[in-house]
């Protein structure tokens, strides 16, 4: 990137009038040469605008200190971590004497809400800076060292990627620098997978909980009565968070893995309104997370909800950590998860050859090989198209006679035009082959009885949909598959017998508890409809709150 473009996009200069707006919320502070203004790993660090002097932006993640940029007068620091509450990914150090206006995180969000022109400049720069770091070859971030055949390596990479943590993966199988790095870190191959930050700290095969604690991903939950608690951070949940928080509701979002839901695992969504060239599910989710944080929604991720109960008419969500969240209204947007193949030996290869998403994380595990995609809906089609660019061949396995009944026409045409995708109809997997990782599958045609073996080292499954409602027990009415009933379907339920009104369209068998998106019985399984239901639910929630 040339210096002029670098400065104009990543480090724009604010006008005197814009700085005057920031001054109202800021404290002026002087840093001497070499003093640290912000350190990697800091949380709740300040938004800083340089009044005079210079500030070096420094990367220490590769073990050596590298100056990535120098910010000057009227330029500002920070990236998306300032909005999301994540840890700082680079350091800022004074070069010579440096005066800065420092704004605390709560005041910073107020500036963004109240000044749209400033908000646009700052957020655009933040997004550009994060994208620049992601694309920069010599920016390391965290290092994950482990074999592509290790399910723990995949688990760690998948978790970090879904939670927008910058990292570099070094594959034991083919990375030339691994041996030297292992010696430098004083660890052996037997210790892998490991997660390391420079030479400052190393975690050997950390659990997800250990990663969460070390990286500070989970934010503390305030003990307060929320207006709205959203369970699930897929498209429906994030839409509700954006609209709820922007309209003044004290909103919290509880998500057990990472933002995005099933849509977040899609490599490219091409039929979502407003994105003619398509958008990845993760990019869509990341943008929604920024919006929700901008308006003041609190996102608690990862955070598992294990029970819904009621105390004196207030909904109480019990968390796996033992914490509780009380709210006047709850929106359940937990979505669905894909069925797992009912084939003997599947458990051995989950995360070591069998995957339930097709993103860059999974694609890197099978680059240049042959893979199978199981499923006939859009998610399977999107996966096949994406993987065809990364691998030698994609076998698309479907149980039916054709794709016409379940897949969008544009995807069918795309698949027909890609030479290295082969469609096998009336076909199911009957056997997995391999030792420490998947090496082959046996498939059967249930019409002809023919069986054949395919040399694949990865299977991507997108079949069926199981609603994530097992944590509800019998707190709400569902159908026999677990999808939550709403609206007229619950009008005659016990919870509404004494009510003075009919349930709202998205309201469940319990007044004040709503459901939106794929988890709701009768919903349209599309990203756009989930976003619509999430935003629509907020209007019903306002009406409910006004009546109590």
3-state secondary structure 126-153: HHHHHHHHHHCCCCCCEEEEECCCCHHH
Task: Report d(CA 392, CA 219) in Å as an integer.
Answer: 42
* 457 located within any domain: yes
Those residues whose C-beta lies under 8 Å from the C-beta of residue 529, and which sit 6 or more positions away, are: 523
Whole-number percent of the chain with pLDDT over 90? 72
pLDDT digits (tens, 9 = 90+) for 454-487: 999 999 999 988 999 999 988 999 999 999 999 9
* Whole-model pTM over 0.95: no
Residue at 374 is within a domain: yes
Contact 29, 151 (CB under 8 A): no
Cα–Cα distance between 431 and 451 in angstroms, integer?
10
User: What is the Cα gyration radius of the chain?
Assistant: 25
**Domain termination site, one of 402, 437, 461:** 461
Kindly report which listed range (138-147, 245-254, 393-402) carries the lowest average pLDDT score.
138-147
**347: helix, strand or coil:** helix
Query: Phi and psi of 164, rounded to 5°?
Result: 60, 30
Is 511 contained in some domain? yes
Domain presence at residue 131: no
Is residue 129 situated within a structural domain?
A: no
Q: Which residues, in sequence order, are CB contacts of 26 under 8 Å at separation 6+? A: 49, 101, 102, 103, 107
**Same domain flag for 199 and 158:** yes
- Sign, CA dihedral 34-39-43-49, equals positive
Give 29 or 5, the one with higher predicted confidence: 29
Among 189, 215, 241, which residue terminates a domain? Answer: 215
Give the structural domain span for 91: 3-113
Strands 324-332 and 225-231: parallel
Q: Give the length of the chain.
A: 548
Contact 130, 80 (CB under 8 A): yes
Query: Is the predicted pLDDT of residue 2 greater than 80, yes or no?
Result: no
Q: Are residues 206 and 285 in the same domain?
A: no
Longest Cα–Cα distance in the chain:
79
* Phi–psi pair at 291, nearest 5 degrees: -60, -45
Tokens, residue 315: 């909904």
Q: What backbone torsions phi and psi does residue 214 show, to the nearest 5 degrees?
A: -65, -40
- CATH value at residue 194: 3.40.30.10
CATH of the domain at 515: 3.50.50.60
**What mean pLDDT do residues 287-311 have?**
94
- Domain membership of residue 128 (yes or no) is no
Q: Does residue 400 sit in the same domain as residue 494?
A: no
Instruction: Give the end-to-end CA distance of the chain in Å, rounded to a whole number.
Output: 56
Do 12 and 87 have their domain in common? yes
CA 429 to CA 454: how far, in whole Å? 10
Do 359 and 430 belong to one domain? yes
pLDDT score recorded for residue 1: 47
- φ, ψ at 132 (rounded to 5°): -60, -45
Q: How far is it, in rounded angstroms, from Cα 109 to Cα 446? A: 58
Whether 500 maps to a domain, the answer reads: yes
* Average confidence score pLDDT of the chain: 92
The residue whose two tokens read 């209007």 is 539
Same domain, 476 and 542: yes
Neighbours of 473 (CB within 10 A): 11
Model confidence over 178-207: pLDDT tens digits?
Answer: 888 888 889 999 999 999 988 788 999 999
d(CA 359, CA 268): 9
Torsions phi, psi for 2 (to 5 deg): -70, 160
Same domain for 441 and 472, yes or no, is: no
pLDDT at 6: 57
pLDDT in tens, 383-393: 999 999 999 99
Determine contact, residues 541/241, Cβ cutoff 8 Å. Answer: no
Q: Which of 322, 259, 323 is nearest to 292 (CA)?
A: 259
Residue 9's pLDDT band (boundaries 50, 70, 90)? confident
Average pLDDT estimate for 302-309: 95
Summarize pLDDT for 358-373 with one digit per residue, the tens.
988 899 888 889 999 9
Of 516, 83, 542, which Cα lies nearest the Cα of 291? Answer: 83
Do 19 and 77 lie in a common domain? yes
The CATH number of residue 67's host domain is 2.60.120.10
Q: CA 227, CA 263: separation in Å to the nearest integer?
A: 27
φ, ψ of residue 237 in degrees (nearest 5): -65, -40
Domain boundary, last residue among 461, 495, 518? 461
How many structural domains compose the chain?
4
Q: Kindly state whether residue 77 falls inside one of the protein's structural domains.
A: yes
Same domain, 471 and 521: yes
d(CA 245, CA 227): 10
> 491 and 430, same structural domain?
no
Q: Please state, as a whole number, how many other Cβ atoms lie within 10 Å of the Cβ of residue 127.
A: 18
Co-location of 475 and 330 in the same domain = yes
Q: What angle do CA 457, 463, 468 make, to 5 degrees?
A: 115
Residues 425-445: what's their mean pLDDT? Answer: 93
Spatial CA neighbour of 58 closest among 163, 166, 140, 160: 140
Cα gap 413→128, rounded to integer Å: 34
Determine the Cα angle at 80 with ends 74 and 84, to 5°: 130
Q: For 52-110, write each residue's pLDDT tens digit.
A: 999 999 998 877 788 988 999 999 999 899 888 888 889 999 999 999 999 998 899 89
327 and 472 share one domain: yes
Mean pLDDT of 414-424: 96
């Amino acid at each position: 990137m040339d210096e002029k473009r670098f400065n104009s996009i990543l480090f724009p200069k604010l006008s005197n009038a814009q700085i005057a707006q920031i001054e109202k919320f800021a404290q002026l502070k002087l840093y001497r040469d070499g003093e640290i203004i912000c350190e990697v790993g800091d949380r709740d660090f300040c938004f800083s605008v340089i009044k005079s002097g210079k500030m070096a932006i420094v990367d220490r993640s590769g073990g050596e200190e590298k100056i990535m940029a120098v910010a000057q007068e009227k330029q500002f620091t920070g990236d998306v971590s300032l909005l999301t509450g994540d840890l700082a990914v680079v350091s800022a150090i004074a070069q010579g004497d440096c005066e800065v206006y420092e704004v605390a995180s709560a005041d910073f969000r107020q500036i963004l809400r109240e000044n749209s022109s400033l908000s646009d400049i700052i957020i655009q720069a933040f997004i550009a800076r994060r994208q620049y770091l992601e694309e920069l070859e010599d920016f390391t971030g965290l290092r994950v060292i482990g074999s592509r055949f290790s399910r723990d390596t995949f688990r760690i990479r998948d978790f970090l990627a879904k939670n927008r943590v910058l990292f570099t993966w070094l594959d034991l199988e083919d990375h030339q620098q691994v041996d030297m790095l292992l010696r430098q870190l004083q660890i052996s191959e037997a210790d892998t997978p490991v997660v390391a930050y420079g030479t400052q700290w190393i975690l050997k095969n950390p659990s997800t909980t250990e990663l969460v604690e070390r990286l500070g991903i989970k934010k503390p939950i305030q003990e307060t009565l929320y207006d709205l608690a959203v369970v699930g951070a897929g498209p429906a949940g994030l839409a509700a968070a954006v609209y709820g928080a922007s309209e003044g509701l004290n909103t919290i979002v509880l998500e057990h893995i990472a933002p995005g839901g099933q849509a977040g695992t899609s490599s490219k969504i091409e039929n979502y309104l407003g994105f003619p060239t398509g958008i990845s599910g993760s990019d869509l989710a990341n943008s929604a997370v920024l919006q929700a944080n901008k308006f003041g929604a609190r996102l608690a991720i990862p955070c598992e909800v294990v029970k819904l109960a009621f105390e004196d008419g207030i909904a109480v969500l019990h968390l796996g950590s033992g914490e509780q969240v009380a709210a006047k209204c709850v929106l359940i947007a937990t979505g669905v998860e894909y069925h797992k193949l009912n084939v003997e030996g599947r458990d051995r290869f989950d995360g070591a050859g069998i995957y339930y998403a097709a993103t860059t994380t999974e694609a890197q595990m099978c680059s240049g090989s042959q893979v199978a995609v199981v499923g006939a809906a859009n998610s399977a089609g999107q996966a096949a198209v994406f993987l065809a660019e990364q691998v030698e061949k994609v076998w698309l396995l479907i149980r039916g006679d054709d794709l016409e009944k379940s897949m969008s026409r544009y995807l069918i045409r795309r698949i027909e035009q890609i030479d290295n995708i082969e469609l096998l109809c009336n076909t199911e997997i009957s056997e997995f082959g391999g030792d420490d990782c998947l090496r082959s599958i046996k498939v059967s045609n249930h019409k002809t009885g023919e069986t054949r073996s395919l040399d694949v080292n990865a299977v991507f499954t997108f079949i069926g949909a199981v609603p994530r409602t097992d944590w509800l027990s019998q707190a709400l009415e569902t159908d026999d598959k677990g999808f939550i009933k709403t609206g007229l379907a619950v009008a005659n339920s016990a919870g509404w017998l004494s009510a003075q009104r009919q349930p709202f369209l998205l309201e469940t068998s319990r007044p004040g508890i709503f459901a939106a998106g794929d988890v709701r019985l009768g919903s349209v399984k599309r990203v756009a409809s989930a976003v619509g239901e999430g935003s629509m639910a907020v209007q019903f929630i306002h009406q409910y709150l006004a009546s109590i």
